[in-house]
Structure 1
Amino acid sequence: MLRLISRQKKVAINRTFLRSLFIQTQTTPNDDALKFLPSMKILPEQTTIEFLNGRQAFKSPLALKLFGIDGVKTIMIGHDFITVEKKTQDDWSLLKPEIFAVLTESLNNGTPVLNEQHQADASDQALLEEDDEDEVVSMVKELIFTRIRPAIQDDGGDIEFVRFDYETGTVYLRLRGACRSCSSSSITLKNGIESMLKHYIEEVEAVEQIEEDEDGNEFEDPLAAKKPVQFEEAQLKPRSRDVAPPPSL
């Protein structure tokens, strides 16, 4: 296996491949999650789908095969990457060869990433998200989509807008993939994302995370304020008030 360094992240190339397919792995802030990068597009642009256990993977033949590997805990599939989270007690040195083998064989043999019905649903996902949005929700989504989501996806995760509470000014978000169980996720949400949304959108007063158990049941987790995490400053006009803007990267 060849080791490379890219953007201060360890990147490995699996050189066992068929035809022209090769797979890279990229580390994430979560030690139990790795981002696998096959040399092909997997899902429609800006689409991700997460499976928290094998029972949820019925819609994805590829995910079912990956869950057949002992030690795989969760899987998230994106446009051009697959994030695999392992059980804490398992070792990547044992899991990676098995994951490489499943991905290489499945993608070369044409194993569907999603079955036909759910593939169509994934293609329509982005079109359904804009219905009945008001100005505040649209602004929140724009900031998340253009400034925050790319950084989250680069770390093998994703972020999803859930809802905005107009009475409390609270934005509820959900983290996916490597970022969902990362120890720094609450810090990122509370101090990086919240500070940006509060600065540019007057109605926003707080950000909270919606979490899920392994069966997909939601519960809310108040976020702890700790060391700020910074994102690229958005090119939007800040709301009028006498405070300094949040720091940029």
Structure 2
Amino acid sequence: MDLGFRMHAERTPNPNSIKWVLGQPVADGVASASFDAGAVTPEVSPLAASILEVEGVERVYLGPSFVTVTKRDAAEWTELAAPIVAAIKAWAASGESALGPAWEPPESESDDVLVGRIRTILERDVRPYVEQDGGEIRFVDFRDGVVEVLLQGACAGCPSSSITLKMGIEARLKEEIPEVRSVVAL
């Protein structure tokens, strides 16, 4: 089966996540989307629903040109890889959009100047590095000096994410925005 693109797997810092790089857009017009087992139907995301049917898969993150799959601790990649690849290939061959008609993007929070600066730094300086590892960071809120973010994809549950959060993301935001006291992941 000729997919019209090459796909390869990359390890991430999270041993429970693998990033499948497709080299083509995954979710047309959408930066990313994350789905947990038991919380998605084919009407929301045919691709994520198909991958989440694989026993042992816990979460699917659709990035710009990759799919990060997170497994349960007890599951083994040797048993999961083939059915995950088959699901991705079947989706690619189908021509369907990765996001179905029932998918709705998360609500956007209100922006003020400070929040806008935080978002800009996260988008410009942090997101590219997080995406290289198969993950995503999403701004949630800024209140009383505390920036709340949601780590998704390979970053969710990654053993090194707390170090990255404090030493990298928090340090970068504090450097640019003195009003930031800390960064926490939800």
Q: Retained in 1: the 8 A contact 2:28–2:97?
A: no
Query: What is the letter of the counterpart of residue 150 of structure 2?
Result: R
Q: Which has the higher contact order (CA 8 A, sep 6+)?
A: 2
Q: Retained in 2: the 8 A contact 1:18–1:104?
A: no
Q: Secondary structure at the match of 2:74?
A: coil
| Of 129, 133, 141, the match for 1:163 | 141
Which residue does the alignment assign to 1:34?
Answer: 18
Deviation of 1:81 after TM superposition, in Å, equals: 0.6
Q: Retained in 2: the 8 A contact 1:73–1:87?
A: yes
CA distance in 2, matches of 1:182, 1:132: 29
- Quick one: structure 1 residues 132 and 20, their matched pair in 2 at CA, closer, same or farther if it must change by over 3 Å? closer
CA distance in 2, matches of 1:189, 1:19: 37
| Of 50, 64, 75, the match for 1:90 | 75
Which residue does the alignment assign to 1:62?
Answer: 47
**Structure 1 residues not aligned, in runs of 5+:** 1-16, 211-249
Percentage identity across paired residues of the two chains: 31
CA distance in 1, matches of 2:38, 2:90: 20
TM-score (norm. length: structure 1): 0.69
| Of 165, 169, 176, the match for 1:200 | 176
Q: Secondary structure at the match of 2:40?
A: helix
What per-residue deviation string (whole Å, max 9, x for no partner) do you get for residues 51-72 of structure 1?
A: 1113234511111111121121
2:160 paired with 1:184: yes
Q: Which aligned runs of 4 or more in structure 1 are off by greater than 3 angstroms?
A: none
CA distance in 1, matches of 2:162, 2:29: 27
Which residue does the alignment assign to 1:20?
Answer: 4
Deviation of 1:105 after TM superposition, in Å, equals: 1.7
Deviation of 1:45 after TM superposition, in Å, equals: 5.4
Query: What is the letter of the counterpart of residue 12 of structure 2?
Result: T
**Structure 2 residues not aligned, in runs of 5+:** none
Aligned residues: 185
- Quick one: structure 1 residues 163 and 200, their matched pair in 2 at CA, closer, same or farther if it must change by over 3 Å? same
Q: Retained in 1: the 8 A contact 2:3–2:89?
A: no
